[in-house]
Amino acid sequence: MTMQTWLGGISIAWLLAQTVLLFAYRHALTVRWREPALRFPVVIFESDDWGAGPLEQAKALENLREILAKFKDKKGRTPVATLGVILATADTQRIKNTDGVEYFSKSLSEPVYTPLRDVMEEGVRQGVFALHLHGMEHYWPQTLMQVAAKDMNVRDWLQSDGIPGTESLPSHLQARWTDASALPSRALTNEAVRAVMTEEASLFGTCFKMRPRVAVATTFVWTEEVESAWGKEGIDVIITPGARYTCRDATGKPGGEDKRMMNGELNKRGQIYLVRDVYFEPMLGHKPERLVNDAKERVRLGRPCLVEMHRSNFIGATEKCDTSLRVLEAALEQLQHTFPEIHFMTSLELAEAIRTKMPALLESKPIPQIRIWLRRIKQIRGFAKLSKISGLAVPLWIIGKAVGA
Ligand SMILES: [Zn+2]
């Protein structure tokens, strides 16, 4: 074999390996290309679980509103905390009166919640809050009733004095869109989902005089049928963790992943997905630096930074609440300092900007898009290593040099 034939053979083998690699990863590569690239840092706080529940929430939201309103981006927009709203919770007194035999709920539309609704609506007017549908209850009531028959803690929760927070329920029981009375959980019937969704959307309208446009499932467990029911009620934006979990598995954890999604991806009904994958929970000891680093990474990848920050940071022991507010304020100071071009907006506004390919926010020039894509594909599991082995890393490196990556 001559040297030329030998070299020719090696080149063909390399080319073949690179082609196979590109083919094997074609989906992962193309979705990262199609995913919109943002031109500016976008940070949105997403705070779930507000609504029907402990009455101290009104004061807690007042405090949160005050902190957010202290900051402004260059366009004069304040940071936004989207509130994942819960519309009803157990009427523990009435349940107790029946010895726990019957379930009753109290809705957010009742007069006892007027101060809470007022602060939510005032925050929306001021631009610091936006309201998302999180669910009627933060659980599936029949599931809770079934579990209560054999679990004393759940029975006590349903018959608590006052209004208990759902945070103290076992995590798997906090999922609404699955029957977790036994694990692994079982799917709810389509009829049941459709019937309650109409009720949810209508009660949201009664409470806030507007229809919900954005939904986020409790504990990030939902199904295709839930998305369809949301669609029928006019919900066109779905907040996700980047994957759809459809049940709670045998250990109680979210499971049954049947779909992965990127920011801006549309489902078959045209509903748009956003990805919330940054976690900032001061009560768990998360520091401002952690949030800034996570935001830097999202900015580097041309992605928005949707930050999960639950209500539980801001209700309960005074010391914990004060610390959470202080840490949030420090985080906002650091974010503004790190990103002078930061843009604050609601998740709905972000979704609309993506849907309409708004040039003021979305990158449309190919060179910066390629630069961002090259960074994104390095993060595909196994791809960087295999591209080195196959030699694909060389042309990618050359493209990177050409676009200044
Ligand atoms: Zn929740």
What is 15-64 written as a DSSP string?
Answer: HHHHHHHHHHTHHHHHHHHHS--BSS-BEEEEEEEEESS-TTHHHHHHHH
Domain membership flag for residue 29:
no
| Closest to 44 measured CA to CA, from 251, 391, 376, 350 | 350
Find the 314 Cα to ligand 1 centroid distance in Å. 14
Find the 312 Cα to ligand 1 centroid distance in Å. 10
**Cis bond leading into 184, ω under 30°?**
yes
Tell me the β-bridge partners of 238. 215, 273
Domain membership flag for residue 33:
no
Alpha-carbon span 141 to 266, nearest angstrom? 31
Distance of CA 314 to the CA centre of its chain: 19
Q: What is the mean pLDDT of residues 239-251?
A: 98
Q: What pLDDT was estimated at residue 1? A: 62
Domain membership flag for residue 24:
no
Inform me whether the pLDDT recorded for 162 exceeds 80: yes
Q: What pLDDT was estimated at residue 12? A: 87
Decide: residue 111, CB within 10 A, 0-12 exposed, 13-18 middle, 19+ buried: exposed
Domain membership flag for residue 7:
no
* pLDDT tier, 9 (very low <50, low <70, confident <90, very high otherwise): confident
Residues 370 and 245 in one domain: no
Distance of CA 239 to the CA centre of its chain: 4
pLDDT tens, 267-294? 999 999 999 999 999 999 999 999 999 9
Distance of CA 159 to the CA centre of its chain: 31
| Closest to 278 measured CA to CA, from 320, 331, 314, 223 | 331
Residues 164 and 243 in one domain: yes
Domain membership flag for residue 190:
yes
Residues 350 and 375 in one domain: no
302-313 core/surface letters (b: 16 or more CB in 10 A; e: else): bbbbbbbbbbbb
Find the 293 Cα to ligand 1 centroid distance in Å. 25
* pLDDT tier, 10 (very low <50, low <70, confident <90, very high otherwise): confident
Find the 264 Cα to ligand 1 centroid distance in Å. 22
Residue type, 339: F
| Structure token digits, residue 103 | 């379930």
Find the 167 Cα to ligand 1 centroid distance in Å. 8
Residue 404: count of CB within 10 angstroms of its CB:
9
Find the 57 Cα to ligand 1 centroid distance in Å. 15
Alpha-carbon span 351 to 238, nearest angstrom? 9
Domain count, the chain: 2
**Boundaries of domain holding 399:** 365-405
Q: What pLDDT was estimated at residue 404? A: 86
- Listing DSSP states for 72-118 in one string gives --TTSPPP-EEEEEE-EEE-HHHHHHTTTSS--EEETTSGGGHHHHH
Alpha-carbon span 160 to 340, nearest angstrom? 48
Find the 152 Cα to ligand 1 centroid distance in Å. 23
Find the 138 Cα to ligand 1 centroid distance in Å. 7
Find the 222 Cα to ligand 1 centroid distance in Å. 13
Residues 287 and 405 in one domain: no
- Listing DSSP states for 298-348 in one string gives HHHTT--EEEE--GGGTSSSHHHHHHHHHHHHHHHHHHHHH-TT-B---HH
CATH number, domain with residue 195: 3.20.20.370
pLDDT tens, 194-204? 999 999 999 99
Domain membership flag for residue 16:
no
Find the 37 Cα to ligand 1 centroid distance in Å. 29
Residues 354 and 373 in one domain: no
Find the 48 Cα to ligand 1 centroid distance in Å. 5
Residues 310 and 380 in one domain: no
Residues 159 and 105 in one domain: yes
Find the 404 Cα to ligand 1 centroid distance in Å. 42
Find the 139 Cα to ligand 1 centroid distance in Å. 9
Phi, psi of 359 (to 5 degrees): -65, -25
Residues 148 and 291 in one domain: yes
Strand segments, DSSP code E, in 208-295 are 214-215, 237-240, 243-244, 247-248, 254-255, 259-260, 272-275, 278-279
Alpha-carbon span 359 to 357, nearest angstrom? 6
Q: What pLDDT was estimated at residue 405? A: 80
Whether the Cβ atoms of residue 66 and residue 123 lie closer than 8 Å to each other: no
Q: What is the mean pLDDT of residues 324-336?
A: 98
Residues 248 and 288 in one domain: yes
Residue holding tokens 């401002």? 288
Residues 123 and 257 in one domain: yes
Domain boundary among 327, 343, 358: 358
Least confident of 93-97, 120-124, 373-377, 399-403: 399-403
Find the 49 Cα to ligand 1 centroid distance in Å. 5
What residues sit around ligand 1, an ion, with C-beta below 5 angstroms?
Answer: 48-49, 218
Q: What is the mean pLDDT of residues 35-47?
A: 98
Residues 340 and 209 in one domain: yes
| Closest to 325 measured CA to CA, from 31, 18, 25, 65 | 65
* pLDDT tier, 236 (very low <50, low <70, confident <90, very high otherwise): very high
| Closest to 86 measured CA to CA, from 176, 171, 156, 173 | 176
Domain membership flag for residue 5:
no
Domain boundary among 358, 380, 396: 358
Residues 405 and 309 in one domain: no
Find the 86 Cα to ligand 1 centroid distance in Å. 8
Domain membership flag for residue 238:
yes
Average pLDDT, the chain: 96
